[in-house]
Structure 1
C-alpha cells in the first residue's frame, strides 16, 4: 500500500520522544512537505538534531512549548501563522504518566497529568483548528492508550486522561465532520524503547504486562507510527471518530 503525504504539513507534539521521532522519520519517508515539531525547552537540542537530520527531506520548523500553558499554545500558533504555515495533520502525541496509587495521588500529580494529556491536547487542537486545520479539511490524531479502554493499578489519573481523549474524539467528530475534518485516536499497548527497555523486560513486568498481551510482545514505535500514517492518509478517508487499538490483543481478553 503506497501512502504519500506530498505537499502536506504535519504538526507533531512531543516530537523529540521515541514515537515522535519515529513519526518524523516515517512522514519524511512518505514524502511529507513540511513538519512542525513541538516539544519542551529542555528538548530543544533533540528538536535541532531532528531538523538537521531530516531538513534535506522536508521543510522542518521547531518550536519549544509547555503545552500545559494555554498562553504558550496561543503564542506558538501565532508564530506558526507568522511563519506562513498551514496545518493539514495534527498529531497530539505529547503526554506524561506518573505512577501513583489512588490514595497517594496528590492534586499536583493529578494536574500535571490532566493538564498535559487532556487540557494541552484540547487547546492545541482548538487553536490549530481555528488557525488552519478546519479550513484545510485536515486530520487530527490523539495518542490515547490501552489504559484509556481498560484500567490498571497506579494509573488513575493517566487512565482518566487517556479515556477522556477518546471522548474528545467523539465530540470533535460530531462538530467537525461537517467541515470534512477527520478525528481519530490511537490506543497502543506499552511501547518498548531504549529508555524503558530495562524496566519493561524485567521479570515482574514480563509477568504483569508482557504475558497478558496475546501476541506476546510489546509494541515498538514503528507499530504505532504505521497506524497513525494510515489513519491520516487518503487510504482512511472514510474513517473518523475511531479509537484504533494497537495493543496486540491486550484489551480483548
Structure 2
C-alpha cells in the first residue's frame, strides 16, 4: 500500500521552521521586522538584534509572539566593533540554526564629496559586522553540522549606483563574501546565500520616494510597476532558510520586481 503525504504536510516539511532558532539583525523595523515575523509564522523562535532594540514591548516582539513563538531582544550597535564582538560572542554560545544578516545603513553624497567617515561607517555596518557575526555563528554551525546564513546584498551588488559609493562597495563585497563562505561551508552542511533587494519602501529610501521626479524615474524602470514591500523580501529569505533550499549555496537572489532584467 502506497501512502501519500498531504499537500499541507509536504509544504510544511519543506518550508516549516518548527524547533529552529533564528537571529535577525536590524529586526526592529522595515525588512528586518518583516523577516522576523515571516520566520516566526513558519515556526521559528526569534532573536532580534538592533541598535535600538527595546527590552520590553516592541512591534517585532508583538509580531513574533502573535504566532506563538518566543522573542529575545538583544541590543547592539553594529557600527561599534566592541558591541559587534559582544553580540557575536553571545550568539556563538547559543544553538543558532539561522542567521539573517539584515542590518544595514546608507550614506548618500556625490563620490567627490563622500567622506572617509561616511564610507567607513557604511562598510563597518554592512560588511564587517556581517562577516564577524557569520564567522562566529558559522563556526558553531559547522561544528554542529548544519545551519542557514542569509546575507543582505543589493541590486548594487550588480550595478554601480549613483551617489552611494560606500554602500555599493559594501554590497558588492557582501556578494563575494557570501560565495566565499559557501565554498568553505557547503560540504559541512551550512548554507550561505544572500538576497538582493530592489527598491523597497523603507526609511532608507524615504528620500527617494519623497522626490516625485526621482520616484517616477525609478518606478518607470521596474517591470512590476511598484516599490517592494518588506514582506516581498521576507518570502525569499524564508525560502533560503528552509529545507527547500538545502541544495542552494552561494546564491545571490535578486528580489527587485524585475529591475535587473531590464
TM-score under structure 1 length normalisation: 0.90
Question: What is the Cα deviation at residue 197 of structure 1?
Answer: 5.6
What is the match of residue 156 of structure 1? Answer: 165
- Is 1:205–2:214 an aligned residue pair? yes
User: Which of 55, 60, 63 does residue 65 from structure 2 map onto?
Assistant: 55
Deviation per CA, 1:103-154: give whole Å up to 9, x if none.
0011001001001000010011111112346524101111111011112110
- Is 1:39–2:56 an aligned residue pair? no
What is the match of residue 24 of structure 1? Answer: 36
Residues 157 and 9 from structure 1, CA distance in 2 versus in 1: closer, same or farther, beyond 3 angstroms? same
Give 1:90-101 correspondences, 5 Å limit.
90-101=99-110
What is the match of residue 7 of structure 2? Answer: none
Question: What is the Cα deviation at residue 91 of structure 1?
Answer: 0.2
Name the SS for the 1:177 alignment partner. Answer: helix
Question: What is the Cα deviation at residue 44 of structure 1?
Answer: 2.4
For 1:29 and 1:159, how far apart are their aligned partners in 2? 32
What is the match of residue 241 of structure 1? Answer: 250
Q: Please list every run of 5 or more consecutive structure 2 residues that lacks an aligned counterpart in the other structure.
A: 1-10
List structure 1 segments (4+ residues) > 6 angstroms apart after TM superposition: none
For 2:55 and 2:18, how far apart are their aligned partners in 1? 27
For 2:224 and 2:78, how far apart are their aligned partners in 1? 35
Residues 250 and 128 from structure 1, CA distance in 2 versus in 1: closer, same or farther, beyond 3 angstroms? same
Name the SS for the 1:61 alignment partner. Answer: strand
Question: What is the Cα deviation at residue 81 of structure 1?
Answer: 5.6
TM-score under structure 2 length normalisation: 0.87
Residues 76 and 152 from structure 1, CA distance in 2 versus in 1: closer, same or farther, beyond 3 angstroms? closer
The RMSD of aligned alpha carbons is 2.2
Name the SS for the 2:224 alignment partner. Answer: coil
| More moved, 90-99 vs 190-199 | 190-199
